[in-house]
Amino acid sequence: MTDNTTLLAAWQRRVSLPLTLASLLFLVAWALPILLPTLDARLQQVCVWVTWLTWALFAVDYLTQVVLAPNRRAFIRSHLLDLIVIALPVLRPLQILRVVTVLYRLDRSASATMRGNITLYGTVTLIIVLVCASLAVLHLESQHADAAIHTFEDALWWALTTVSTVGYGDLYPVTLGGRAVASVLFLLGVALIGIVTGTLASWITERVHPSGSTPPASQADVRALTEEVRELRAQLAQLTARPGTEGPPPHTADR
């Protein structure tokens, strides 16, 4: 069991860097034909092959991890998102979020800078999702006659107006796929406002009540003290009992 855990950890350490590079390669191969529709047909074909190749790499990695995992059922349950990204090729752009995970492993700071971490990972995730959503919407909408989004600049501008929930309505998706991508951005927008608000609220609360320097007494502190007093009473009871036997029966500390 521990042997397998070690094997799994060793595998994850080994493939971490290659897979991150693969995900960046995927991003390039996926984005290039979208950004340059007039690209040479042979190059476009290469890009398609590269996206499938990197997808195969991730599938192999996932299967190897399942095989090496000591408890396969638990592994699959805790890595459900990975399975979905592998199983539904349409979600492949999400593989780029792997970069956030790597960033997290490189710099795992203490909880003292928790807010800093949330800000850093939140910002990086936001930029990745904005770029990927812009590319996806540009790809899906460019095939439609009534579409208003024709350039990457337009798509990124649309993604920004959407994620901030401003929604001018100068640009909006009209295809089912584009609307599906937009719905994910809506959710992200609401969550983004929630994260920004939560982080600021936590910061404001701390500044308003700066009682962090002396932590409040814990239950454990008071219980240790109560034990101390109980022993003291037992000692006193013994003293009372000694001179004669007519003293009151010592209160047994059976509470």
Considering only residues 158 through 187, tell me which ones interact with a copy of itself, judged by CB under 8 A.
160-170, 172, 176, 179, 182-183, 186-187
Task: Specify whether the CB–CB gap between 161 and 168 falls below 8 A.
Answer: yes
Residue with smaller CB distance to a copy of itself, 59 or 74: 74
- Per CB under 8 A, the list member of 218, 245, 252, 254 interacting with a copy of itself is 218
Residue 89 buriedness (CB in 10 A; 0-12 / 13-18 / 19+):
exposed
Least CB distance to a copy of itself at residue 15 (A): 29
Is residue 223 a contact residue for a copy of itself (CB under 8 A)? yes
Does the footprint of a copy of itself cover residue 230 (CB under 8 A)?
yes
Query: Residue 23 and residue 225: Cα distance in Å, rounded?
Result: 57
Rg over CA atoms, the chain: 30
Which 109-138 residues touch a copy of itself, going by CB under 8 A?
111, 114-115, 118
Q: Measuring CA to CA, which residue among 12, 85, 14 is closest to residue 54?
A: 85
Listed as own residue / partner, the contacts of 248-254 with beta carbons closer than 8 Å and 24 or more positions apart are none
Closer Cβ to a copy of itself, 2 or 211, answer by number: 211
Nearer to a copy of itself, 20 or 117 (CB): 117
- Which burial class, exposed, middle or buried, applies to 95 when counting CB atoms under 10 A from its CB (0-12, 13-18, 19+)? buried
Q: Is 38 in the site for a copy of itself (CB under 8 A)?
A: no
Q: CB nearer to a copy of itself: give 15 or 118.
A: 118
